[in-house]
């Protein structure tokens, strides 16, 4: 049976055409079949046939004119006739393609590059083509008009089929009989194509890749990430069992845990930084504090019978004292320190800090439970006698207890500590600890002795706790993205002086170093505000300052400047979408401020470039972390990763799409890689607390860029590019990447830069799962393989792994 190849867009035309066919009468002339190129309507009818509205023929003169002796007049144009015949042939073939089944023996050829639409669909993998062909082609004539355009402008789901064959001019016939009323999608498309909006933006057509509004896999990934954030250490949802007494079951400590091999070995490894040893009365006072917080007699009896011995408590305190000596912001003055003269709360919280550092899990739980007991009792000390707010020992105990809570990795403890972090700051502020006027110039005479010299010595070292509180406040602000409690403008006290003065064991030794360093100085040491005005003062005073501590104070203070900029940027962000953003004074001010901040940090980097002995891995990591914050909004990164739910992640996606392909993003990637580089240089066991959070922030920037880039360039043509190691040294290749996008960014695992050692792996940024595995390994390898990770580090490793898994599960890796 022969099939007519004629195509119609209207039902009435099809019905009338069908009536012309007479299947039973073989003598009746049939329509020509589609095997003939001239089937159907002719290219040019002669004038006589056209006037009579009858069928003509391609061969001229036509049969009708010859039979009737008429002049067969027609327009003779070989080129036009050939073109018309070719178009008719395309139309007939196009219709045939959509209706005829595809042979399984052959394979269809995809469109050439010049014939494809420049949309993400043309970049999709061709692996589905054979499956698609075996299930017949999609009938474009049946596809709603709005859906068709939507799938061209926006990315389809992974299951969507894609057209592999040209449709010829039959495409022009589809949907001519459908409902022409505009839907919401149609109005959205018209709004996208609004001519006035295009003219207002100076015809800056967006890159077609940024038209990808959303995709199925991106939506699935967001849903997974929202669940991840509910388990993160920063989201506390109180339960019925949460209270100040919920950890008391961890206070009874079995003797087997303190007599075990792991704890005994850790005791032997600890270097005692002071000669004092805890006495039994001090241990009993700690026990009395704990018993006063017990909620039931049964718990009280268990705690009293199994509380650690004096030797164990002494070891825990010395573990803390040794670890405190390794931190930059020291506030315990060992030269004048007397262990058994401290407040019982001080000893208890010091033992708590030491227990949380122990390698035994039971001891860690005991440490956190002990910290909770002290947290409850310390406020009563201040209430009993308000003069105690001037006692530096009790304020130190309050600060140390909050330090344990802030970096505990326990959501409840972290939130409670964050709520109370301003209390010791308010106490010190009220006593004028942050003001320069409190610290009159100390004149040390060679003849000073006895109580006079002791008074000058003690007055000098009391200010160190103020700087520790300032650094911790900045770290908390960076972690939670909240306003700092302290202002850099109120911190007018002089910067810490040389470490030789701090480590002097006696007043006489301190006097000797002080006279030696201050003899030729007529001015006070500079303050933080002085460094903000002129960073070169750091170099001019480096002989009299604790340079490493001063560098940290400057960098943590600089966070307040970045935070102010980020707050203003968030407010005026919508102005960037205005028709004339170039003339907006707020945006001009923000751009100028951003340049000033970048220049200040670059100047700092230049001034300190030769201070290798004074600039440790911690300061280098912090410097690059601040540069990262300048080039990307951490709040946007957290929103995209699902912190505030799927709606907020979807809202911030277009902003990050624009960012991902900008030089600013590549600068952010470089500094994120440098954060990882210096994290790998941390001494063993020191990549924890805020420093581990800094690594997480860098990982979040790398993950976000990798996910968005992968979604935009899905299955694009592979272009071989040289790897650019973001965690390597600065080079011309790095500048080509940050400036022009040349090269493919890579990060490496720990120890891969050490000569003679086998690389543990490297990962391209677009492989987000592998990339997150590398970051997780950097955190884990900073600790001994047999040692349990600190809870906050373990939580961050889990969160980083979940980021990689969420992208991998939906194919964005």
Return d(Cα 675, Cα 682) in angstroms, integer. Answer: 11
Total Cβ atoms within 10 A of residue 193 = 10
Please spell the DSSP secondary structure of 377-435, one letter per residue: HHHHHHHH-GGGGG-HHHHHHHHHHHHHHHTSS-HHHHHHHHHHTHHHHHHHHHTTTT-
**Mean pLDDT across 756-784:** 83
Residue 544, token pair as written in the block? 């009299």
Instruction: Give the burial class of 194: count Cβ atoms within 10 A of its Cβ; 0-12 exposed, 13-18 middle, 19 or more buried.
Output: exposed
CB 3 within 8 A of CB 13: no
**Alpha-carbon span 402 to 379, nearest angstrom:** 13
Q: 336 and 505 in contact (C-beta within 8 Å)? A: no
CA gap 20, 309 in Å, rounded: 108
With contact defined as beta carbons under 8 Å apart, do 347 and 308 qualify?
no
What's the gap between Cα 525 and its chain centre? 39
748 sits in which H/E element: strand 744-748
The torsion defined by the Cα of 688, 689, 690 and 691, in degrees rounded to 10, comes to: -10
pLDDT at residue 231, as a whole number: 59
State mean pLDDT over 139-164. Answer: 34
Q: Encoding tokens for residue 487? A: 């202002």
**pLDDT at 373 (0 to 100):** 93
- Those residues with Cβ within 8 angstroms of residue 335's Cβ, 6 or more apart along the chain or in another chain: 503, 504, 505, 506, 509, 510
What value does the mean pLDDT take over residues 584-602?
89
Lowest-confidence pick of 67-71, 139-143, 485-489: 139-143
Rounded CA separation 759/752 (Å): 4
- Start-end of H helices in 572-725: 585-607, 617-631, 634-640, 646-660, 663-679, 689-712
In b/e form, how buried is each residue of 327-363, taking b as 16+ CB within 10 angstroms? ebbbbbbebeeebeebbbbbbbbbbbbbbbbbbbebb
pLDDT value of residue 637:
92
- With cut-offs at 50, 70 and 90, classify the pLDDT of residue 470: very high
What is the per-residue pLDDT across 66-102, written as a single tens digit (0 to 9) for each?
Answer: 888 888 887 654 434 333 344 334 444 444 433 333 3
Half-sphere exposure of 276 (CA within 13 A, CB side): 18
Task: Return d(Cα 371, Cα 389) in angstroms, integer.
Answer: 20
Number of other residues whose CB lies within 10 A of the CB of residue 593: 15
d(CA 334, CA 723): 50
| DSSP 8-class letter at 143 | S
Distance CA 79, CA 789 (A): 81
- pLDDT (tens digit, 9 = 90+) per residue, 196-245? 433 333 333 333 344 344 555 556 665 666 656 555 555 667 677 666 66
Q: What is the pLDDT at residue 324?
A: 94
The span from the CA of 225 to the CA of 32, in Å, is 62
What per-residue confidence (pLDDT) applies to 111?
A: 36
506-539 pLDDT, tens digit per residue, is 889 988 888 887 766 768 889 999 999 999 998 8
What pLDDT score does 544 carry? 87
Of 255-259, 314-318, 534-538, 608-612, the poorest mean pLDDT is in: 255-259
Decide if 331 contacts 396 (C-beta within 8 A): yes
Torsion of CA 496, 499, 501, 503, to 10 degrees: 120
Break the chain into its structural domains and give their ranges: 1-97, 240-420, 437-592, 616-809
The predicted-structure confidence for 353-400, as pLDDT tens digits, reads as follows 999 998 888 889 999 999 999 999 999 999 999 999 999 999 999 999
Nearest to 631 by CA among 604, 602, 660, 665: 665
User: How far, in Å, CA of 165 to CA of 335, rounded?
Assistant: 84
pLDDT at residue 444, rounded to an integer: 84
Report the predicted TM-score, pTM, of the whole model to 2 decimal places: 0.71
pLDDT at 259: 65
By the 10 Å C-beta count (0-12 exposed, 13-18 middle, 19+ buried), 78 is classed as exposed
Confidence label for 471 from pLDDT (cuts 50, 70 and 90): very high
Q: Please report which confidence band the pLDDT of residue 138 belongs to, taking 50, 70 and 90 as the band edges.
A: very low
Give the separation between CA 582 and CA 603, rounded to whole angstroms: 28
Cα gap 52→45, rounded to integer Å: 11
pLDDT score of 348 more than 90: yes
Sole residue written with tokens 């006489």:
508
Tokens 């046939």 locate to 49
């Amino acid at each position: 049976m022969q099939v007519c190849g004629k195509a119609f867009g209207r039902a009435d035309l099809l019905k009338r055409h069908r009536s012309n066919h007479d299947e039973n009468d073989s003598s009746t002339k049939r329509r020509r079949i589609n095997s003939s190129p001239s089937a159907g309507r002719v290219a040019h009818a002669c004038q006589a046939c056209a006037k009579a509205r009858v069928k003509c023929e391609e061969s001229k003169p036509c049969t009708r004119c010859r039979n009737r002796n008429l002049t067969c007049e027609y327009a003779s144009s070989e080129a036009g006739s050939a073109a018309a015949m070719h178009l008719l042939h395309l139309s007939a073939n196009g219709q045939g393609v959509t209706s005829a089944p595809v042979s399984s023996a052959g394979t269809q050829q995809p469109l050439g590059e010049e014939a494809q639409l420049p949309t993400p669909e043309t970049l999709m993998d061709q692996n589905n083509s054979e499956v698609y062909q075996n299930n017949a082609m999609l009938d474009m004539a049946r596809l709603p008009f709005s859906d068709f355009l939507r799938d061209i402008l926006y990315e389809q789901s992974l299951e969507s089929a894609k057209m592999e064959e040209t449709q010829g001019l039959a495409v022009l016939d589809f949907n001519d009989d459908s409902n022409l009323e505009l839907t919401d999608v149609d109005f959205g498309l018209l709004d996208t194509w609004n001519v006035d909006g295009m003219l207002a933006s100076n015809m800056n057509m967006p890159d077609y890749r940024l038209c990808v509004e959303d995709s199925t896999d991106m939506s699935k990934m967001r849903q997974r990430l929202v669940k991840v954030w509910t388990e993160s250490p920063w989201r506390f949802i109180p339960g019925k069992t949460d209270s100040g007494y919920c950890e008391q079951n961890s206070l009874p400590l079995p003797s087997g845990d303190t007599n075990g091999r792991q704890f005994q070995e850790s005791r032997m490894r600890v270097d005692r930084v002071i000669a004092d040893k805890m006495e039994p009365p001090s241990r009993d006072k700690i026990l009395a504090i704990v018993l006063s917080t017990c909620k039931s007699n049964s718990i009280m009896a268990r705690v009293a019978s199994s509380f650690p011995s004096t030797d164990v408590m002494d070891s825990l305190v010395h573990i803390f004292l040794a670890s405190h000596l390794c931190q930059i912001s020291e506030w315990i003055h060992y030269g004048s320190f007397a262990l058994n003269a401290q407040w019982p709360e001080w000893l208890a919280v010091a033992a708590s800090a030491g227990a949380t550092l122990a390698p035994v899990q039971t001891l860690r739980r005991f440490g956190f439970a002990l910290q909770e007991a002290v947290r409850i009792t310390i406020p009563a000390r201040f209430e009993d006698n308000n003069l105690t707010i001037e006692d530096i020992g009790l304020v130190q105990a309050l600060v140390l207890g909050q330090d344990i809570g802030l970096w505990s990795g326990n959501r409840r403890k972290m939130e409670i500590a964050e709520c109370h972090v301003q209390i010791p700051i308010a106490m010190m502020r009220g006593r004028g600890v942050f003001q320069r006027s409190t610290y009159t110039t100390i004149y040390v005479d060679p003849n000073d002795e006895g109580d006079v010299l002791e008074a000058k010595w003690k007055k000098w070292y009391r200010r160190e706790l103020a700087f520790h509180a300032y650094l911790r406040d900045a770290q908390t602000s960076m972690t939670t993205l909240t306003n700092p409690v302290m202002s850099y403008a109120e911190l007018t006290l002089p910067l810490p002086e040389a470490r030789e003065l701090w480590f002097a064991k006696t007043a006489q030794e301190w006097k000797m170093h002080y006279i030696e360093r201050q003899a030729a100085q007529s001015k006070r040491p500079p303050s933080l505000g002085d460094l903000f005005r002129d960073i070169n003062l750091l170099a001019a005073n480096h002989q009299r300052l604790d340079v490493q501590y001063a560098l940290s104070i400057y960098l943590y203070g600089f966070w307040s400047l970045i935070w102010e900029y980020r707050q203003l940027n968030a407010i005026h962000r919508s102005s960037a979408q205005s028709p004339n953003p170039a003339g907006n004074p707020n945006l001009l001010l923000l751009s100028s401020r951003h340049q000033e901040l970048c220049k200040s940090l670059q100047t700092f980097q230049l001034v300190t470039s030769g201070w290798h002995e004074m600039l440790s891995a911690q300061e280098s990591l912090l410097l690059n972390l601040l540069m990262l914050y300048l080039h990307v909004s951490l709040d946007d990164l957290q929103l995209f990763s699902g912190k505030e739910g799927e709606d907020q992640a979807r809202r911030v996606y277009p902003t990050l799409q624009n960012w991902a392909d900008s030089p600013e993003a590549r600068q952010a990637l470089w500094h994120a890689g440098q954060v990882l580089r210096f994290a790998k240089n941390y001494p063993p066991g020191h990549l924890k607390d805020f420093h581990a959070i800094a690594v997480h922030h860098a990982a979040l920037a790398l993950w976000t860029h990798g996910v968005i880039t992968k979604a935009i360039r899905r299955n694009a043509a592979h272009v071989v590019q040289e790897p650019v190691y973001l965690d390597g040294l600065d080079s011309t290749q790095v500048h080509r990447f940050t400036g022009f996008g040349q090269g493919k960014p890579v990060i490496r695992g720990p120890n891969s830069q050490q000569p003679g050692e086998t690389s543990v792996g490297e990962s391209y940024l677009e492989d987000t799962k592998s990339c997150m595995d590398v970051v997780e390994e950097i955190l884990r390898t900073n600790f001994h393989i047999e040692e349990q990770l600190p809870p906050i580090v373990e939580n961050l490793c889990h969160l980083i792994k979940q980021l990689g898994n969420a992208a991998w599960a939906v194919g964005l890796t």
